[in-house]
Amino acid sequence: MGRGRVELKRIENKINRQVTFSKRRNGLLKKAYELSVLCDAEVGLIIFSSRGKLYEFASAGMSKTLERYQRCSFTPHENSIERETQSWYQEVTKLKAKYESLQRTQRHLLGEDLGPLSVKELQNLEKQLEGALAQTRQRKTQLMIEQMEDLRKKERHLGDLNKQLRVKLEEEGQNLNVIQNMWSSDAAAGSSNFSLHSSQTNPMDCTPEPVMQMGYHQYHPAEGSSIPKSLTGETNFIQGWVL
């Protein structure tokens, strides 16, 4: 009488379950090896036990078999889209984590949300703030020194311009003095020539020549004179007939 048909269900006895797993696992690995040898087939077998232990068999290498499996299971277009989507998802995840970390660091630098930090983290934060403060002061000092140097350069430049203007003004003053001296010398020479010419002229040459006059001059008595107006007409009449 043959063996009866075994009902397929989970074996509740732990020892029997482990024995059955070992026997059938070895038989399955043996059948996979035989199939690959007899039929020249590329066989890949992966088994995980209930405890998570791995058992595998690959006639051409597991990684090679898996790559071939992926190429056959997905079309190239779908595979590229899936890879690109997965890559973008990973990039977004990294950027999101970095953004959250930067926000958290900024809040800590501003003195916010310091409660969850430990003593060591607070000491590190203190060192960062001290280093940032030292760099800020150093940069401030450097900028002040550069501004002072610029102001000194401007001061020297303005001093040179002042000296140039002073020299130019002195030259203009000297030229003005020379012109004034020339004018005064010319004026003195002209006055001396005029006096010499006046002294050389004959006083007799300046006497007026006699002039013959017809008629008579109208006689006008001086203001305050005691001559009566009635005589002025007669006098003028008499003088009109005298040559």
N-terminal to C-terminal alpha carbon distance within the chain: 206
| Residue 217 in this model has a pLDDT that exceeds 50 | no
Helix then strand then coil, in percent of the chain rounded to 5, is: 70, 5, 25
CB atoms within 10 A of CB 44: 19
Domain extent listing, the chain: 10-73, 76-116, 122-189
CA separation for the pair 137, 143 (Å, rounded): 10
CA separation for the pair 209, 186 (Å, rounded): 37
Which residue from 58, 53, 60, 54 is spatially nearest to 32, judged by alpha carbons? 58
Q: How confident is the model at residue 47 (pLDDT cuts 50, 70, 90)?
A: very high
What does 162-193 look like in DSSP terms, one character per residue? HHHHHHHHHHHHHHHHHHHHHHHHHHHHHHHH
pLDDT value for 12: 86
The residue type at 189: A
Question: Helices 76-109 and 119-200 sit at what angle, rounded to 10 degrees?
Answer: 70
pLDDT value for 3: 63
Q: How confident is the model at residue 90 (pLDDT cuts 50, 70, 90)?
A: confident
The residue type at 122: L
CA separation for the pair 67, 20 (Å, rounded): 32
pLDDT value for 82: 73
Average predicted confidence (pLDDT) for the chain: 77
pLDDT value for 125: 86
Which CATH architecture best describes the domain 10-73?
3-Layer(aba) Sandwich (3.40)
pLDDT value for 67: 86
CA separation for the pair 12, 80 (Å, rounded): 45
pLDDT per residue as tens digits for the range 106-136: 888 888 878 888 888 888 888 988 988 899 9
125-129, 187-191, 202-206: range with lowest mean pLDDT: 202-206
> Which structure tokens are listed for 163?
């000296």
Average pLDDT over residues 140-162: 93
| Residue 62 in this model has a pLDDT that exceeds 80 | yes
pLDDT per residue as tens digits for the range 5-43: 767 888 888 899 899 999 999 999 999 999 999 998 999
| Residue 149 in this model has a pLDDT that exceeds 90 | yes
Q: Is 221 left (phi over 0), alpha (psi -120 to 50) or beta?
A: beta
